[in-house]
């Protein structure tokens, strides 16, 4: 390897590593901001949160890696151009195309690694992430208490809150609790203006401190019948507390990960092909079953077929078919027809829901299969956009290169997101939808690479200024000649 190639690789690796971890950190912060109210201060063990963050980081690689390659390639060649090192490289007889070769080999290796990562490691990470997040949200009380929804997770209690997390993470507002511990079928009702959750030191009980509320208690009838003289008690309180048995939530039970295995993001290429094939066969069977069921409603009843030799000629019906039915039987015939049409609609509607769901699952499987390749190709594409851009703008650091990289990546991300959503809804072919961003930006990469190899002044402001000044001068000279 030439020294110049080694120099270029070293100049690229440092900004690539820095930008990759910065982007990963930012994306991880987005994840924490989304779940901060449900994770922090709710009694979760630190290793559960760390495990969840690790799996979330793996799913962010698909966004962080292409952006890091784009930004670091712009910074690398921008620094070389700003320090006139790129000029020295060209004066030594090494063209920009040859200078990009060692970095192209490096990016190609990253693309291949990203392909195997998305095919082998990412599905397993998504599976563990999805199952752990499900367990966290369904086994822990902090996730189960949702505003405006009655919660029955605590044995013998049903609780509802209007708001939560205002002012403090553990704060609840507009609390209503139904206590069924009496066992007589008449619950005790507690209503409070606000409250705060806390746990005992052993973690077996959750204490809910209530402020400004009232407790309603009604005595049950002794003989099981209605008693108009039964007592009803109402007690107001400034502050009280209710203890809930928290032992069932102390050790989080893990759900079997195989229950989530049928989700497309959690499958590799081989499993996706098998799932797509199974879904297509199910759709074919469902379509045949729907056709068979619908035929019974349009088929003429032949109750005496095979039991009589009488042959009735076909009748040619002209006009309204109702006129051929005797008046005494018209109402009954119409009612039977309406009943058959309604039964047919219900049959079709019930099977169409299943058919639409499986059709969308086929599209998702096709999209996820193509995504295994788009991550690797996007790494190569953004390199051929970033490296020529850096050579053209000749600016390094974290200023202009970051702005340009973010603009191009947002353009890429918006196109891919919109096209993928259209493909999932069935309005766009899944292959075209997942590859749309690559298709749109490939001509841009080819154009920028060509302009960089011919030393084009594409982003040189002085070049455009001189071009405009020259245009006005020529126009002024032409006007003087006409005079």
Q: How far apart are the first and last CA of the chain?
A: 66
- pTM for the structure as a whole: 0.63
Specify whether the CB–CB gap between 267 and 368 falls below 8 A.
yes
Q: What is the mean pLDDT of residues 403-426?
A: 84
Pairwise CA distance, residues 438 & 461, whole Å: 29
The pLDDT confidence band at residue 250, using thresholds 50, 70 and 90, is low
Average pLDDT (134-143) is 58
CA-closest candidate to residue 174, choices 200, 198, 150, 155: 150
Residue-level pLDDT at 386? 83
pLDDT at residue 333 in the model? 79
pLDDT at residue 14 greater than cutoff 60: yes
Give the confidence band of 269 by pLDDT, cuts at 50, 70, 90: confident
Compute the mean pLDDT over every residue in the chain, rounded to the nearest whole number: 77
Mean pLDDT throughout 120-136? 79
Q: What is the pLDDT of residue 321?
A: 73
Work out the average pLDDT over 437-447.
87
Handedness of CA 357, 359, 362, 366 (dihedral sign): negative
Residue 248: pLDDT band with limits 50, 70, 90: low
Determine the average pLDDT of the residues in 469-476: 71
Give, in degrees to the nearest 5, the angle at Cα 304 between 301 and 306: 115
Residue 466 or residue 120, greater confidence: 120
Burial of residue 107, with CB atoms counted within 10 A of its CB: 0-12 exposed, 13-18 middle, 19 or more buried? buried
Q: In this predicted model, which residue has the larger pLDDT, 55 or 459?
A: 55
Look at 26-35, 85-94, 304-313 and tell me which has the smallest mean pLDDT. 304-313
146 or 362, higher pLDDT: 362
CA distance 87 to 91: 6
Mean per-residue pLDDT for 119-135? 80
Distance separating alpha carbons of residues 413 and 374, to the nearest angstrom: 12
The residues spanned by each domain of the chain are 142-249
Instruction: Say if residue 439's pLDDT is above 80.
Output: yes
pLDDT level of residue 75 (50, 70, 90 thresholds) = confident
What is the band of 480 on the pLDDT scale with cuts at 50, 70, 90? low
pLDDT category of residue 239 using cuts at 50, 70 and 90? confident
Residue 266: its pLDDT value, please? Answer: 80
**pLDDT of res. 421:** 87
Q: Residue 459: is its pLDDT beyond 60?
A: no
pLDDT (0 to 100) of residue 171: 77
Q: Return the C-alpha torsion angle 395, 396, 402, 403, nearest 10.
A: -20
pLDDT of residue 265: 80
- pLDDT reported for residue 406: 80
Q: How far apart are CA 13 and CA 16, in angstroms?
A: 5
Mean pLDDT of 285-313: 65
pLDDT tens string 34-65? 776 656 655 566 777 778 888 888 888 888 88
pLDDT at 436 over 80: yes
Query: What pLDDT, on the 0 to 100 scale, is given for residue 37?
Result: 61
Hey, what are 179's tokens? 């206590």
């Amino acid at each position: 390897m030439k020294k110049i190639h080694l120099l270029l690789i070293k100049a690229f690796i440092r900004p690539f590593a820095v930008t990759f971890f910065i982007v990963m950190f930012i994306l991880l912060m987005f994840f924490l901001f989304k779940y901060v109210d449900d994770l922090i201060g709710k009694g979760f063990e630190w290793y559960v949160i760390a495990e969840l963050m690790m799996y979330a980081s793996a799913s962010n690689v698909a966004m962080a890696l292409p952006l890091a390659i784009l930004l670091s390639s712009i910074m690398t060649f921008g620094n070389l151009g700003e320090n006139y090192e790129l000029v020295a490289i060209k004066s030594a007889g090494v063209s920009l195309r040859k200078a990009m070769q060692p970095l192209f080999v490096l990016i190609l290796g990253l693309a291949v690694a990203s392909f195997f990562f998305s095919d082998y490691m990412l599905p397993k990470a998504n599976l563990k992430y999805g199952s752990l997040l499900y367990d966290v949200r369904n086994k822990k009380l902090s996730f189960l208490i949702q505003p405006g929804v009655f919660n029955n997770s605590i044995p013998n209690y049903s609780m509802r809150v209007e708001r939560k997390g205002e002012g403090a993470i553990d704060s609840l507002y507009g609390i209503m609790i139904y206590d069924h511990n009496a066992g007589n079928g008449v619950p005790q009702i507690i209503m409070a203006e606000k409250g705060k959750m806390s746990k005992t030191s052993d973690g077996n009980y959750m204490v809910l401190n209530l402020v400004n509320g009232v407790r309603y208690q009604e005595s049950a009838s002794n003989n099981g019948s209605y008693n108009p003289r039964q007592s009803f008690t109402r007690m107001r309180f400034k502050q009280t507390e209710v203890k809930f048995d928290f032992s069932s939530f102390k050790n989080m039970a893990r759900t079997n990960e195989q229950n989530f295995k049928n989700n497309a993001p959690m499958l590799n290429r081989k499993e996706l092909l098998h799932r797509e094939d199974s879904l297509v066969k199910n759709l074919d069977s469902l379509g045949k079953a729907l056709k068979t069921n619908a035929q019974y409603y349009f088929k003429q009843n032949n109750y005496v077929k095979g039991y009589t030799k009488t042959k009735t000629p076909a009748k040619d019906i002209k006009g309204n078919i109702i006129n051929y039915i005797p008046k005494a039987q018209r109402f009954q015939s119409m009612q039977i027809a309406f009943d058959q049409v309604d039964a047919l609609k219900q049959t079709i509607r019930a099977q169409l829901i299943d058919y639409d769901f499986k059709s969308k699952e086929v599209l998702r499987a096709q999209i996820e299969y193509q995504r295994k390749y788009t991550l690797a190709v996007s790494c190569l594409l953004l390199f051929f956009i970033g490296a020529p851009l850096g050579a053209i703008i000749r600016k390094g650091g974290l200023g202009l290169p970051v702005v340009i990289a973010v603009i191009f990546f947002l353009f890429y991300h918006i196109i891919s997101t919109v096209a993928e959503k259209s493909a999932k809804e069935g309005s766009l072919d899944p292959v075209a939808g997942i590859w749309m961003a690559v298709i749109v930006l490939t001509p841009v990469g080819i154009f920028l690479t060509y302009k960089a190899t011919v030393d084009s002044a594409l982003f040189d402001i002085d070049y455009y200024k001189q071009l405009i000044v020259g245009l006005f001068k020529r126009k002024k000279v032409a006007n003087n000649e006409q005079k």
